[in-house]
Each structure stands twice: as structure tokens, then as C-alpha cells.
Chains A and B, each alone.
Chain A
């Protein structure tokens, strides 16, 4: 089931009680992701490692519920799924300081950042990341108080039940509070907005007929089946 535009319902028993539908994410924020680029990060077209957070936006047509089916378009044998911890903003966050940033967080959820695999971070087409249903979220918003330390959560992904990916939020270049501080310096986040902290590399690849389950310590798991668009 796809969350339709403007309406999105996953369990959210902490204020602001519902998601706004705006989802931002950071790329190359996990050490393994930047390391995977190696020397290429300092060569054309990039010329230098990123200074500010590398951010993207998942528009409302991408939002999807737990257990939704993700469609693989013709010509793409597989999709890539970034397994991310997402912050759910609880209070308007403008120019927050890192030491106080987590006070602006209502809770946490799992974000599956689905893409058609692409190698360029320079100016990639949005058709890789902005397709309908390419941002499953869930399974629920876990209150901030229930998570002792967002910077020490293990992330695991299972493909048809087999462990294929392990990461930990301890390896983020900008941990949760730092990223929120840096982002809110120039763009205000509103209650219900989600900020995905960034996936580790290599991200799991998923083919038609397979089910990917992402598990984050303390947050439960988010499971989605992948099928060809015409299946």
C-alpha cells in the first residue's frame, strides 16, 4: 500500500503525532560510504571532499508504508537500498546547537532509501531516487526517550532472511546531533520532518521477488518486497 500524497500514517505516538511528509537525507555520511569513493572524491568532477552535508530530498510520492511493494522499473536488474536511521523532528529546528540538537527530536524510525543504482554523486537525475514508493519508512516512531544513544545503534539488513549488511551509527561522520545542527543552520526543519542520517556502503542490492528487512537496534524492523514494475 502506498502512502498517498499528503496522507501518511505510521504509528507515531509521540508529538507531533504525525509525519509532515518531508524527508531529507544525508549521503556519504557513513565513513564506509565516503571511503568507498576513495581517491575519486578529490578528482573531477568532485575535485574535493564534501564540506557541507551532502543532502537529498525524498518527495512525498516516494513515501511508503512498512510491507509495501517496491517496484523495479524495466531496464534495472536490481535496486539499491540505503538502510538509515531517521530522526523525526519534534520541535521547529532552526540554528540548533549540537549539544542541544537532540532536544528537537521527537523520535526515531527506519528509513529505506531506495535508488536505481548509480555511481555519480555529481548531479544525478532525480529519477534514480524520486520514484513512487522509493522511501519506505517505519515500522513506527520510537520515542527519543526510549533510545539511550542514537550514535550507537546497530543496523542490519536481511535479504530473504539472510544477513547481507551490517553497520552502526557510531561510524557516522556527522552523528545525529551534529548533522541536525549543521542542516538547521540554513534550513529550518519542521515538526514531523524526517532527517535520514546516511547509509553505510556497500548498500544491499535487491532483485525482483526478494524481500529486504532492515533492522535497527531498539526500533524494530522494516520489511519490503521488491517486484518488477509489470509483475
Chain B
């Protein structure tokens, strides 16, 4: 099952794809509405956002020679989250802002010291994430710093939460990003350096994961600079297509 959270006619609703057409959604109360008439929100009530850096080695097998001992993990706050079809700001004057298409793992059951073999039992489902970064602000203090990775509206989640039961193998999903319909990034979750069971085992070893916590598993190579007006679509096998548009300061009253 795939579920979205949308705002429509004054309330927040759970929505599913309407039978027969991608243009329409069915709200939990039965109403059928045009997809264009809703505001898409992140598909779950998100708790802690845990993100991985440098977690793909598909393009450079030689990296495997210097395998990391520990995942590179950073945290994000709630203000950075954005839904499907939202606008993300590119500040004037920056030189390098890029998307990152990632498989997002949504925790469904409290996980504390969970062994690898039981890890996936704690997953509610999956969605697509687009985890923007602005490289200009990178400093060597607590990398990657929040000014790079935790900006308002720069972490896009959605469109759907797809139940774990409907994802046969989260360790073998193709990911693709298109900028203005042109393929710019492609990878597969089989190339994760630290796979999902490992990440849940590792993280739950020192921090209790709760329902709604989200793990962004990292992005493969192929990130390029994006400019105001660019439409960025991140796609993952079976999870749908996550749209975002880059906007300049003026769209944000700056």
C-alpha cells in the first residue's frame, strides 16, 4: 500500500492513489480529488532524521580498499522537511547547490539494540528523499554542517510512504534523478556500503529509534548543480517520483 499525507480543503488527509489514474487521489474519507489540488506533505509525522554521508561505492570500487569503519552519520531537524512538489530556495550568489536522491527508511517499531537479522522488522516502509546540499557553506567543523544540510525546505520527502511489505528487496532498488527531464544520477541500493539492516543495528546500538524516525541512506554519484527554475525529479523503483522545483530568493520574499 502507498499512502500520502496531503492538505486539502482545510484539513490534513491520508491519501492513496485513485484507481486508474495518476492524476487523482482518494482521501481516507472516500473523496476523489485532483492531485493538482492538494498540497503534499512529508508522508509521515517525522521524528528524528538521520542521514548518511558517502554511503555508495558503486562508481569507485577502489574506495572499497579503504572501507570506512563506521558510517558517516549526521542529523537533521524538522524545519528542513518539505513535501512533494514543493519549492526549494537557492540563495543568490551560491556556486554549487545539488540534489541527492536517497532511499528513506521509515522506522515503524521502537528499535533498541536490534541485531541485523531482526532489523527489517522495525521498518514501517520506505519513501524517496531528496537531500539538498549547498557546498558553498561547507566548513570543516562538524561536517556536514547544518548550514549546508539543514536549510529550510531542503530535505524533500515523499510522495508516498510505501509499506515495507510491498518492497520485496530494499537492497536492490534503482534510483534515478532527472533535472528538467534529463537523467543526471543513477544508482542502485545494492551498492550501499552500509546496508539498511546494518544501519539499524548500528544506530539502535546507541540510540533508541522510534516510530517516525527516518534514515536517509545516502546518495550515489551523479550530483550536479541546480538553478532556479530547474525541476528535479527523484525516482526509486516502486516508490514513485518525487518532484521539486528550485526557486530564487524572490519567491521567498528575500
List the B side residues contacting A132 at CB < 8 Å.
112, 206-208
A132-B208, A188-B152 are contacts. A125–B73 as well, Cβ < 8 Å? yes
Q: Which of A160-188 contact B (CB under 8 A)?
A: 186-188
B72 and A60 within 8 A (CB): no
Inter-chain contacts of A55 with B (CB < 8 A): 142, 145-147, 150
Residues 91-128 of A, flagged 1 when their CB comes within 8 A of B and 0 if not, give: 00010000000000000000000000000011111110
Residues of B within 8 Å of A187, CB to CB, are 77, 79-80, 146, 150-152
Count how many chain B residues have C-beta atoms less than 8 Å from C-beta atoms of the other chain.
35
- Chain A: minimal CB distance from B170 (Å): 22
Residues of B within 8 A of A47 (CB): 140
Known contacts A5-B47, A123-B72, A186-B151; is-contact A54 B141 (Cβ 8 Å): yes
Question: What does the 1/0 interface line of B205-224 toward A look like (CB < 8 Å)?
Answer: 11111111000000000000
Known A45-B140, A131-B207; contact A52-B75, beta-carbon cutoff 8 A: no
Among B72, B75, B110, B150, the one with the most A-chain Cβ atoms within 10 Å of its Cβ is: B75
B147 touching A186, Cβ below 8 Å:
yes
Residues of the B chain whose Cβ atoms lie less than 8 Å from the Cβ of A24: 77, 146
* B80 contact set on A, CB distance < 8 A: 187
Q: Is A59 an interface residue (CB 8 A)?
A: yes
User: Contact at A61–B143, with CB atoms within 8 Å?
Assistant: no
Bound-state CA distance A168–B239 (Å) is 52
In this complex, the member of B48, B79, B141, B209 whose beta carbon has the largest number of chain A beta carbons within 10 angstroms is B141
Measured in the bound complex, the distance between the Cα atoms of B139 and A51 in whole Å is 8
Q: Which of B142, B152, B208, B212 contacts A56 (CB 8 A)?
A: B142
B75:A126 contact, CB within 8 angstroms: yes
- Interface size bracket, A side: 35 or more
Q: Could you tell me which residues of chain A, from 50 to 104, have a CB within 8 Å of some CB in chain B?
A: 50-52, 54-57, 59-62, 73, 94
CA–CA, A41 and B75, complex, Å: 24
What's the Cα separation between A4 and B139 when bound, in Å?
34
Contacts A56-B75, A123-B143, A190-B78 known; list 20 others, CB within 8 Å: A5-B212, A6-B210, A22-B78, A50-B141, A52-B137, A54-B139, A54-B141, A54-B142, A56-B142, A57-B146, A57-B150, A59-B48, A60-B48, A61-B208, A125-B73, A127-B70, A127-B205, A130-B75, A187-B80, A188-B79
Return 16 A-B CB contacts under 8 Å, by A number. Answer: A5-B110, A5-B210, A5-B212, A6-B47, A22-B78, A27-B141, A47-B140, A52-B145, A54-B142, A55-B145, A56-B142, A59-B207, A60-B47, A61-B48, A61-B210, A125-B70
User: A-side interface residues toward B, CB under 8 Å?
Assistant: 5-6, 20, 22, 24, 27-28, 45-48, 50-52, 54-57, 59-62, 73, 94, 121-127, 130-132, 186-190, 193
